[in-house]
Amino acid sequence: MSRVRQAAKDDVAELVRLRALLFETLGGDFFNPSSADDDWRHTLAAVLKEQLASDAVRILVVDGNNGLAACGIGTIEQRLPGPHLRNGRIGHVIGVVTDPANRRRGHSRTIMHSLLDWFREREVARVDLYASSDGEPLYRALGFVDHPDPSLCWRP
């Protein structure tokens, strides 16, 4: 079984590497716009360092032989409560990714179980995520279903 731990400041460079790997894997102009440069990596590193201390963020990792084998991030957002969101707390799973040399070992599943436990402890009303085609079977096996809300986005 994978040993999951909370990320530390020393993990930030590896977290940036894994997030870049995720974007490369997803491909397409949305995740890899032709106008992009590497500045986003420096900004990501700064944000990750800040988020490590946040009570509303959980960054989990699994160690590998040469760096991190896998990571996953959970965030909690406070929205307005309603009949479909009893307390307004929405969890988001962001960037669950496993290094190719460490795949098919249960790392993502173990990270997800830990994140879901963390969300339950904080009484999150709903957890959202975007699934890659490779990750979708795992998320469905964990009980994730198609989102009931229509989703649109706007990019200024």
User: What CATH number did the domain enclosing 38 receive?
Assistant: 3.40.630.30
Asked if the structure places residue 151 within a domain, the reply is no
Q: What is the pTM of this model?
A: 0.89
96 close to 130: Cβ distance less than 8 angstroms: no
Q: Tell the burial category of 62 from Cβ atoms under 10 Å away from its Cβ (0-12, 13-18, 19+).
A: buried
Q: How confident is the model at residue 37 (pLDDT cuts 50, 70, 90)?
A: low
Q: 34 lies in which domain range? A: 4-141
Asked if the structure places residue 147 within a domain, the reply is no
Using one digit for the tens of pLDDT, what is the confidence trace for 55-99? 999 999 999 998 999 999 999 999 999 998 899 999 999 989 999
Q: How confident is the model at residue 25 (pLDDT cuts 50, 70, 90)?
A: confident
CB atoms within 10 A of CB 102: 19
Rama region for 17: left / alpha / beta (φ>0; ψ in -120 to 50; rest): alpha
Q: What is the mean pLDDT of the chain?
A: 90
Sheet bearing 4-6, strands edge to edge: 4-6, 57-64, 67-78, 89-98, 126-129
Q: Number of folded domains in the chain?
A: 1
